[in-house]
Amino acid sequence: MMAFAFSDTDMNSRTLRILFATVTVSLSTALYGLLAGCSGGKKTLHIYNWADYISPDVIRAFENEHSCRIVYDVYDSNEAMYAKLLSGARGYDIVFPSSYQAILMQKQGMLEKLDHEKLPALAHLDSAFMQNVALDKGAEYSIPYLVGTTGLAYNKERIGEAPSSWAALGNPTLKGRTTLLDDYREALGIALLYLGHSANSDNQAQVEAAGELLLEWKRNCARMSAMEYIPGLASGEFHLSHGYSSSVGAMMSDGAGHVDFVLPKEGFTIWVDSVAILAKAPEKELAYAFLDFLCQPKNSALNMEYNRGAAPNPDAVALLPEELRADPVLFPDEDTLTRGEQLFPIEEHTDKIYLDVWMRVKARQ
């Protein structure tokens, strides 16, 4: 069950929120205005995060408990978030980078070194996960938030039999009906896995070959996006998408019965999203309170149920309904996970190779 531990087609309101985020690229607190009910004159916590990635119930409860206001802006990739912050964007308190990105940001002095005395709820984190999976094993700068996989989401009514291989992205009968994540580590990672290499390969020839394969798959591709595939799958516009288990699982739970999710036989990536306080955060004390709030089992369980991502928080998992604890999209079994590979930080010169290849993929029509 807790394998991550670690030894009708109408668009619903959540899908519409994600669609809104793809259009605006920046999601303001207006999205949560109807849910939050905050008034002026209160302290404001600025969160920079993936779209729709915190339960509105958790946001509302924190605002009420701390008599504050939350402003929630979004990004659609680690690269976009990192570039914006690196360019000097200020005013944000909390950010949710993937764990490999958090390590890079930590090394560059972008993250606050965490004072554990202000984070008593860290005691709820799975010690085995922290020792064996977490990249920041001591939670010195970041805390694991949610864990999941990246696989293929498909329209059962259009495709029928579940695709078993990443090769389905190149199926000519799906031309104009597929999507790829606009994330260079994820996209190059699956191409590397398909070719029999590590998703973290530092071999230039292997990365170049992965880029050529992505160019082949791109010929079928209608979009390269980390958000647009969700409303597109829901509406039936897209038939096959490279996507995150959490986003697809949330869509399936919200009534998209025509969509399913598979993890290809060649392997898949395992992602760990973290939460951290920015070194220049204006509201550090409020940010500490929010991080601790997220780790409290009740709130962690709410976020797991809302986002369909697994938190390394056994006390929170115990609060989930049985059907969620048995959900293979949320908690793949251990045999399945043996095919997965976590994305790790790569050296700067290797990262440049990845980015150069990725830019060529993006530029080619």
- Same topology, domains 13-147+272-325 and 148-269+332-363? Answer is yes
Structural domain boundaries of the chain?
Answer: 13-147+272-325, 148-269+332-363
| The CA-based dihedral angle spanning residues 173, 176, 181, 187, taken in that order and rounded to the nearest 10 degrees | 50
- Condensed to tens digits (0 to 9), the pLDDT of residues 232-284 reads 999 999 999 999 999 999 999 888 789 999 999 999 999 999 999 999 999 99
Locus of tokens 């944000």: 92
Burial of 198 (0-12, 13-18, 19+ CB in 10 A): middle
Residue 48: φ, ψ to 5°: -115, 115
SS3 246: helix
SS3 164: coil
pTM for this structure? Answer: 0.87
SS3 221: strand
CA distance 7 to 14: 34
- Condensed to tens digits (0 to 9), the pLDDT of residues 94-140 reads 999 999 999 999 999 999 999 999 999 999 999 999 999 999 999 99
Q: Report the top-level CATH class of 148-269+332-363.
A: alpha beta
Q: What CATH superfamily classification does 13-147+272-325 receive?
A: Periplasmic binding protein-like II (3.40.190.10)
Q: Is the pLDDT of residue 39 over 70?
A: no
